[in-house]
Amino acid sequence: MSARNFRASAPASSANLGPGFDAVAIALSARMQATVAPARRFALHFTPGPQAPTHDGLREAIERAMHRIGALPRIRVDITNAIPLGAGLGSSAAASVLALGIAQRAAGSRIDRSQIAALACELEGHPDNALAALYGGTTIACDARTVIRLPALRETIALLTIPQIDLSTAAARALLPARYARADVVFSIQRAALLAGALAGGKLDVLREAMRDRIHQPSRAPKIPGLGALLSYDAPGIRGIALSGAGPTAIALLNRGADVRRIGDDLRSFFTDAGVAAVTLCLQLSARGLILRDGTRTA
């Protein structure tokens, strides 16, 4: 194990962006951060705060990921988390990527991002959030090795509206139907192709249409009161709106000149009018994924 202290962090992410189901994700500026120091035995601590875990799920995810590299290293890890948990913002992917990077670094190995990608995708079960947390920017992938990495969208911010309801990823996936109408499949394939082209070519004026979906959002909307109406909302400055990952958060991509306060109030009202409290959070898009620093060097 390296004897040096070091720091590590991984970003939040928003997956799917509508029709890019299990394939597309963008990294966001909220991060899960860790300080790491040598210790006699492994220890993991969480700094108290609004996004600190309230149960052992995050601890178990971090330890499970570290075990994929080897035995738990003799280090103390102090985690400060700014990613809302259980909100569809990639907190589990950030935890897995962070833990894998820490385990590699603590073992004295070079940082092997290909290995981290493969293991994080396996742990998550799909590549979208995992690869955005690892690489930053925008990722389009079908597996850990087959991925297109793009810069963060230019002149764009993310406005997140987070309803105060519980909807686990497993529960959200269970809502998906076993069969789809051909028209719905064609609709989403068309917009998934448009989305990929828009992200790769910087054609942000088509994002509003490209982020429409009939594969997963219609099935999940009934469990998120107010979401169906919210997805149809439009205002100057909005580039596109979608459910973030499996939800329940909604993400609106805005241009930098948008009236964030007014749009946030409007988006929040869709949930509050349906009897669900909600908060809004404005984040930058992140060009950086996993970061490891020992004070003089970044891996």
Look at residue 214 and tell me if it is in a domain: yes
- Cα separation, 218 vs 55, in Å, equals 31
Please identify, among 126, 151, 176, the residue that sits at the C-terminal boundary of a domain. 151
CATH code assigned at 215: 3.30.70.890
Token pair for 188? 């989403």
Torsion of CA 197, 144, 133, 243, to 10 degrees: 50
pLDDT score of 198: 97
| The pLDDT of residue 2 is above 60 | no
pLDDT tens sequence across 203-262: 999 999 999 999 999 999 999 999 999 999 999 999 999 999 999 999 999 999 999 999
Res. 290 pLDDT band, cuts 50 70 90 = very high
Look at residue 192 and tell me if it is in a domain: yes
Residues 138 and 161 in one domain: no
Contact criterion met (CB below 8 Å) for 68 and 123: yes
* Number of domains, the chain: 2
Instruction: Enumerate the H helices of the chain as residue ranges.
Output: 57-67, 91-106, 113-124, 128-135, 169-174, 182-201, 207-210, 217-220, 227-230, 260-273
CA 84, chain centre distance (Å)? 10
**What mean pLDDT do residues 49-57 have?**
91
CATH code assigned at 146: 3.30.230.10
What is the domain range of residue 186? Answer: 156-284
Residue 286 buriedness (CB in 10 A; 0-12 / 13-18 / 19+): buried
Sheet of strand 250-255, all strands in order from the earlier edge strand to the far edge: 238-243, 250-255, 156-163, 278-284
pLDDT score of 262: 98
**Mean pLDDT for the chain overall:** 95
- Cα separation, 194 vs 200, in Å, equals 10
Look at residue 299 and tell me if it is in a domain: no
DSSP classification of residue 84: P
Residues 204 and 88 in one domain: no
Residues 31 and 135 in one domain: yes
pLDDT score of 3: 53
Burial pattern 200-218, b for ≥16 Cβ within 10 A else e, equals: eeeebebbbebbbbbbbbb
pLDDT score of 167: 81
Q: Which among 237, 233, 242 is positioned nearest to 254, based on CA atoms?
A: 237
DSSP classification of residue 47: -
Residues 113 and 195 in one domain: no
CB neighbours (10 Å) of residue 297? 9
| The pLDDT of residue 8 is above 70 | yes
**What mean pLDDT do residues 71-84 have?**
97
Look at residue 32 and tell me if it is in a domain: yes
Q: Which residues contact 121 (CB under 8 A, 6 or more apart)?
A: 127, 130, 131, 143, 144
| The pLDDT of residue 199 is above 60 | yes
Please identify, among 151, 172, 200, the residue that sits at the C-terminal boundary of a domain. 151
Q: Which among 290, 289, 294 is positioned nearest to 106, based on CA atoms?
A: 294
Res. 296 pLDDT band, cuts 50 70 90 = very low
**What mean pLDDT do residues 67-91 have?**
96
CB neighbours (10 Å) of residue 1? 12
Look at residue 31 and tell me if it is in a domain: yes
pLDDT score of 248: 96
pLDDT score of 168: 82
Contact criterion met (CB below 8 Å) for 97 and 290: yes
pLDDT score of 299: 54
Please identify, among 151, 172, 202, the residue that sits at the C-terminal boundary of a domain. 151
Question: Looking at the whole model, is its pTM more than 0.75?
Answer: yes
Portion of the chain with pLDDT greater than 90, in percent: 92
Res. 109 pLDDT band, cuts 50 70 90 = confident
Contact criterion met (CB below 8 Å) for 66 and 103: yes
Residues 115 and 232 in one domain: no
pLDDT score of 1: 44
Residues 24 and 125 in one domain: yes
pLDDT score of 295: 54
Look at residue 195 and tell me if it is in a domain: yes
Residues 11 and 113 in one domain: yes
